[in-house]
Every structure is written in structure tokens, then in C-alpha cells.
Structure 1
Amino acid sequence: MTTSDVFGTPPAHDPAVVDGLLETAVSRLRAINALCSDEVERAVRAVPRHAFAPEFPLEEIYDHKTVLRTRYADDGTATSSVSAMWVQTLMLERARLEPGMRVLEVGGGGYNAALIAEVVGPNGAVTSLDIDPVVTDRARGFLAETGYADRVEAVVGDAEHGHPAGAPFDRIIVTVAATDLPPAWTEQLVDGGRIVLPLGVRGHQRIYALTGCGGELLVGETGNHAGFVPMQGAGAPAPHRVPVTGTVELVTDADPVPASETLPGVFALPVHRVPSGVHIGGMEPFSTLQMWMTGLSGFGLLTGTGEDFVHRPMLSGATPAVWDGATLAYLLCPKVPDADEAYEFVACGHGPRSEEAAAALAEHVRAWGRDHRGGPGPRFLAHPDLPDADGVIRTRHTRLLALWDRTEHDHGLDWEADTRG
């Protein structure tokens, strides 16, 4: 079965219209620093993005911020998509691809694999891996129709196991949201190779670029926010979800996990509030604060909206919180009275240590404000045998340690700003 059998005959687009939309997209990607190199730009110009998403209008296909969701689960959640152009070019830039490289793409679809093939050239090799046979078949059809079938091998497999038949790889580019680093990835990566992926660290998904430093050690840096569909199969995320109220849950993969009957009673206790004194503008990014919080013991996220708390949350449905076994503390972000577009981080606590827990949380915010506000975020060490210590985050396969440098410069995308919930 060909893609034409599924989508019908592809529409005959006016080349002048396509060229105009592509030119605008490239200009915008350059302007926000998501596209920097001539090599990646040549790939974007060479691969017809519309040929990999024939069911969408051209204006959406070539809008640099639009995600094209192509497959859904029974509950309506997206399971496969063609990522927004800005995130695809950004990840390719961070991968530092070179001609002749062997690349594993985790999460298929066709278009991104074709971009990689253009950059690594005819002497390179690209394997595109996806767990869903329907997605793989779709990708194979589009790759064949656009002339990339001989340059990209599209295979079905579980991301947890990588693709040993094609290893070793110079680069692994992951286009589904991971919450861990499976051993297969480091085992199949050459020394000095690079893994670029959207990694969810305690609920906050960002793009990481990690370099292999021998054995199982990876060293890397964080980047921009991401919103990829979650990984499926053995590496699918499985956080604990503990009820707090009818509309609020604590979502955590940290210890200790509260008993299901404990949190409602604690949350019903009087709240103790501690203002941090740290103010933030309405469009000022605070993503490094989110990362700064994840190193706290017992970290999790509270779902719920502004109606569920005494003040508005930092982000609707993702309020950072800490549970120590008896006391719950969390961070809200109310508007500063009589100020235009200014907000203050306020720590709230419930339970026997509410005052102490809220004060500690507020001081943690102040430390971020002094040392890391406006910075690029932490670098990370990843290794399965890192010793238990403050700030070490345990995942199923590895342990992560954030390394924070004091800096005053933000290296994120120029247009990026967090949306207040």
C-alpha cells in the first residue's frame, strides 16, 4: 500500500507558494537562532516538508511553530507527529552532524530522517526507529516518494533497546519524550558521540544534548522547552499519581510517595505562606527555576488550576511541590498588587512543618534569583553509579546530577517565554 492509497493523490501545490512559505520559515528560524548553519539550512530547503504531511494545509506545514499531529491513541492523545520546524532544526544544530556519520533517529515519521540524511550525505547512514508499524509504513512510503528510501532505513522496534543491528552510532537523535536514558543508547554510541533528546526530568521536559565520555558516562547541557509525544513501550513514563482533591493530584517519581489517603487531609490543613521577594515580569522566562526545583528531595508536580489554590500557580496543571512524608510545600505565583505584569513567587506549606517547609522553599527561590536567573540552566552528568547525594536524581536506569554555573546570560531561543497559567 502506498501513501496515495491512504491520503489520495497528493495535492498539486503551486511551487511559487511553497517557495514563499519556505523562505519565510527559514527567515524566522534564523531570526530566533533555531537555524544557524548553512548545512542544516540546505537540508531544510532540499526536503519537501509538505510531502511528509499531505493531509495538512501548506500554511500549517511551513509555519515554524506548528506541530502536525498525525496519529492518535483511543483516548485522543497524540502518539505521533511531525514536530515543529523550530525544534527540528534546533535539535539538528545541537547534534553537530557531519558528513559520513551514522545516525539513529528514535521516533519515526520520515521528514526529520530525510533532513538528517541530507546533512550526513551519501556516505552517511540513517536509521529511523519507531514502535508503531503504522508510523513506520507511513514513513517508508513518504521516503520512497521523495527519493530517500535508499538513504534512510525505517525499522520497527522499541526505543528502549535501540537498534543494535545498525550500531555503533555517531549520533542518536530522539524525537519522542523520554524520562530515562536506557543503557542500550550509551552502549550503541561511539565514544565522543552525541545524544540529543527531549528528556523529562521530574515532569519538566527540555531538550538535552549529551556527549559520551567513555563507558556509561554522559555529560551535557540543557536547552529549550519541549512538548514531544511520550515514548511508548518499555520506556513509557509511569509516574505515581496521588490524589489530593477531586481536581488536584501530586504527580511524582521521587521518594517518598505519599499514601493515597494521606494528602487530602494534609492539604485541608491551614496554609502557611512565605513570600520569596522574587518578582518576575509577565513574559520573563522562568524555566531555569523549574529545573532548579527538581533537585529537591521529594519533588513532584501538583495538577489543578488557579481555582484550586490560594494564589495562581506558576503554570496551570504543573505546580512544583515537595513532599517530605508529612508536610506538603509548593510554589505559587500571584500577581503583585498595583503593578503592571509583575508576579511574585510565594511558597505555601501544609502540615506539621508547614512554616519551616515553606520558608526553605522560598529561600531556594531566592538562591535561584541571586545565582541563576537569566542563565542557560544546568549542565548534567549522567551515570548509573553516581553516589546518592543532594541534587542527584534517580531514574530507572541512571542517575542525573545537575551542575549549576553562575551566569547572567540566557542562551535560549530569542522568542521563547513561559506562558503563565
Structure 2
Amino acid sequence: MNDTTTGTSPEVLRERMVDRILANQRLTPSVEAALRHVERHRYVPDAPIADAYAEQAVITHTFPDGTHLSCASGPTVVAAMLNALDVQPGHRILEIGAGTGYNAALLVTLAGADGTVTTIDIDPDVTAAARRNLDATGFERVMVLTGDGAHGAPEHGPYDRIIVTVGAWDIPPAWWDQLVPGGRLVLPLRWRGTTRAVAFVKRDTHFESDWVYLCGFIPMLGQPGEQNTTIDTDGLVTIHYDIDQAVDVKALQGVLTREKTTVWAGATVDANESLDRIWLHLTATHDDTVRIEADQRAVTTGLCTPAIASRSPALVDGNSLAYFTIRRTETSERWQLGAVGHGWSGEQLAERIINQIDNWDRNRTADPQLLAYPTGTPVPDALDGKAISKPNVTLVLRNIDV
């Protein structure tokens, strides 16, 4: 069978997919072998074969309003998270978010004949499709459950590895309880408007990260930890913030019409360089970090010009705001980084963003270490870092080494 648009076989497309991943990241031999073995196109049968092996997510289920419910994540993110999970033969694995069943097939391939894989999803249509796909591809022994993944699946635990394939704003107690000491939890974790795939190791009193990776995932249902508000009269600019943040929604109305200050850093980037670690620097140093989102009409008129219109970091303080921005340099081949402030404290907030741009510029690849203490477990007083309170854990971002 060949793809009707390219005339290329699935086997060739799969080899190209893995080679493309390897060009950008190292994989363990076992993860590479699993990716070359499992037929990804058979888990998205309604998509063109070329799309199944392209570097893109494939949407498989949507809500009636058109928002996405489930998808097959992009191959590079799948590979990176599997690599960080470090599955060994014989491991017991729990997957939160069944998706198409593709990731579970990779997991059971890695765990081998003596390992077990349980995958759970809250939506019965998603689990039914995953079950069909796994049965059709010879992975009948994967256990597929319908239920709230926040509760885990204690009847098949405890687990050596837990992987979450939906965006999680918090870490439910069940994931801590059902993971063995020294086990690994890999999940896309959201805080302060940004998402990172994080690999945690379970220590005696807390989770401790040893890997952080930029990603984006469909949010997990049932974790309403984020709120948002528009801040202009036409509803074109939105601020997204966490429920633990003291954002004065009324005071921010009309902030973009107040006194404006623009400050530029000395740092520049080319068009292909990621800027997201600047966001991490801000979350590790400032409690008032939020996400700003601007409609293209706001960008075109100059009302609000964030570095990335749909998602850029910002700082808020009472009736003042500053956000991260960029502009082309004279050569047009590079972009200069800066901040735009509005309101009485706008210039001060913009300078704070510039300070973190400067810190990032000294070491552009540094990531924070994340610690997650279950609620009720005391956080050591001597522990340095920025603490973020969530209902189930206290997340601590340790200072980025610059």
C-alpha cells in the first residue's frame, strides 16, 4: 500500500519520520526501534498516510463546538517523552490519555513480554477507537479503561512509569500514590500560561525533575486552574492567569490605552530560535507572570504587539502591565527583543522583563529544575526557588543557573 498523493509506502515514510526525529534529538536504541516498528498510520486510519508520518498532530476527536478533544501528538514530542520516560523491559506502565492507542503500542513494545500497559481516558469514544486500533495491530494485551485519569487505575498498579498525554495543570494525588518510589512521571505540565513536558522522579517526599521540554497538548478535562479576561473594549486582547494569582481584573480594563513605554534589550535572535525559555525565567522569578493573547486586529492596529500574538509572557501589577515583544533589526535577518509597558508601573514591569531577557541571553539553553511537593508535605524553608501553589501540589521552580 502506497500513499495515494506521494506514491510512497508507509514503511518508507516511517523510516523518514524516525530519521527526521534523530536529526534533532538523541533517542535510546529501544525508543528508536519502537518508532520504526509500530505502524503509526494504522492509528489514524482517516488521515492521509503522509499526514500520519508528518511532523504534526492529527486531530481525531472534537467537541460539538469544534474544540479538540483528542489527537495523535506530533512524532517528535512523542519520541522525546518516551525517551524521558526510560521504559525498561518488565515495567508496569500507566498512560493517562488513550488518544489513538499509538502511544500505548509504543509503550508495550518498550516494556516487552513481561511488562504491562494500562491506558485510560475519560471519553468512551476515544477509548473505543483506541481499543479497535490496538486490536487491529496486534496489541490486544494493552488494557484500555474508560474513566477519569485523575484517579489513575489502582487496580492495575502500582506502576514503575506513568505518562500523561494531555495537558495537566495540577498533579493529582493518585499519580503520586500509584507510582513506585524511584518511579518516573512524564507529563505536559501547565503553569503561568505556558506548558512544558517534564520528567519527574519520585523521591521520598516530592517529585524532582531531570528533564524539561517545550510542548503543547490538549488540556486535561476537569482541571479548571486557569482563568482569562479581555482587557480592551473590543475584546481583542486577553490575559490568561492561574487561580492562585491576585490579578485585579477590573483595574486592568483599558490598560492598553494608558501611558506606554517600550524598552529594548541588547539580545537578538534569528527567525528559527526559540524564545520560550525567557518565559521560564519569568515564571521562576516573578509571581505576576501571565500569558497575553492578541487578536491579529490588535496587532495590525498597534494596540498590542506581543512577540507571538497567540501566546507571549506578560507581567501584571494592579492597573499596569508589560509584555514581551520583538522587532526586526536593520539587517531584517535578526530580531531584537524588548518589552512594552502600560500604566503607572508599566516601565518598571518592562524593565523586569528586560532583566530576564538578559539572564536568558547569558545561557540560552538553561532550564529550571522543578520540584513538586504534595499538598500537606512541608516545603523545606531553606529551599531556594519560586513556589507556585496548586490544589494538589506546591510547585517549586529552582533558580535557573546563569
Normalised to the residue count of structure 1, the TM-score between the two structures is 0.86
TM-aligned CA deviation for residue 71 of structure 1 = 0.3
Moved more, 393-402 or 191-200: 393-402
3-state SS in 1 of match to 2:254: helix
Q: Matches of 2:385 and 2:163 in 1, distance apart?
A: 30
**1:202-251 Cα shifts (integer Å, max 9, x gaps):** 11112111110124x0010343321211111x33x441212211201111
Against the structure 1 CA distance between its residues 258 and 69, is the aligned structure 2 distance closer, same or farther, given a 3 Å change threshold?
A: same
Q: Name the count of aligned residue pairs.
A: 387
What's the CA shift for 1:403? 2.4
Quickly say closer, same or farther: Cα 1:310–1:369, change in 2 above 3 A: farther
2:214 partner letter: H
Q: How does 1:283-302 map onto structure 2 within 5 Å?
A: 283-295=272-284, 296-302=286-292
Determine the structure 2 residue equivalent to 1:399: 394
Structure 2 residue aligned with 1:258 = 248
Deviation at 1:390, TM superposition (A): 6.0
Equivalent AA in structure 2 for residue 169 of structure 1 = Y
Q: Deviations over 1:13-69 (max 9, x none)?
A: 799812211221222122222x52221222223322222111111111122x12111
Match of 2:195 among 192, 195, 205: 205
Q: Secondary structure at the match of 1:307?
A: helix
Superposition RMSD in Å: 2.3
- Matched to 2:227, the amino acid is H
Secondary structure of 1:177's aligned partner = coil
After superposition, residues 190-201 of structure 1 pair within 5 angstroms as 190-201=180-191
Are residue 214 (structure 1) and residue 204 (structure 2) matched? yes
The 5 A counterparts of 1:4-403 are: 17-33=9-25, 36-63=27-54, 65-108=55-98, 109-150=100-141, 152-215=142-205, 217-232=206-221, 234-235=222-223, 237-245=224-232, 246=234, 247-253=236-242, 254-259=244-249, 261-295=250-284, 296-304=286-294, 305=296, 306-307=299-300, 309=302, 312-336=305-329, 338-370=330-362, 372-373=363-364, 375-384=365-374, 385-386=378-379, 391-403=386-398
Kindly state the Cα deviation for residue 115 of structure 1 after the two structures are TM-superposed: 0.8
CA distance, structure 1, for counterparts of residue 267 and residue 303 of structure 2: 18
Gaps of 5+ in 1: 1-10, 408-421
Aligned-pair distance for 1:167?
1.6
The 2-side partners of 1:46 and 1:348 are apart by 50
CA contact (8 A) 1:208 1:223 kept: yes
Under a length normalisation based on structure 2, what TM-score does the superposition of the two structures give? 0.90
2:180 partner amino acid: V
Distance 1:321 1:40 in 2: 38
Q: State the one-letter code of the partner of 1:89.
A: A
Amino acid at match of 2:228: R
Q: Once the two structures are superposed, what CA deviation does each residue of 1:287-314 show, in whole Å capped at 9, x if it has no partner?
A: 2111111231211111104236467421
* Cα distance between partner residues in 1 of 2:102 and 2:146: 17
Deviations 1:318-356 (A, max 9, x none): 2311112232222211222x1232222222222222333
Deviations 1:356-407 (A, max 9, x none): 332233223222223x32x141121111343798621222221222224536
What SS does structure 1 have at the residue aligned with 2:229?
strand
Deviates more, 1:69-78 or 1:343-352: 343-352
CA distance in 2, matches of 1:297, 1:37: 37
Take 2:346 and 2:43, find their aligned partners in 1: how far apart are those partners?
54
Greater share of strand: 2
Q: Is the 8 A contact 1:195 1:211 kept in 2?
A: yes
Q: CA deviation at 1:274?
A: 2.2
Looking at structure 1, the residues matched to 341 and 74 of structure 2 have their Cα atoms a distance apart, in angstroms, of 39
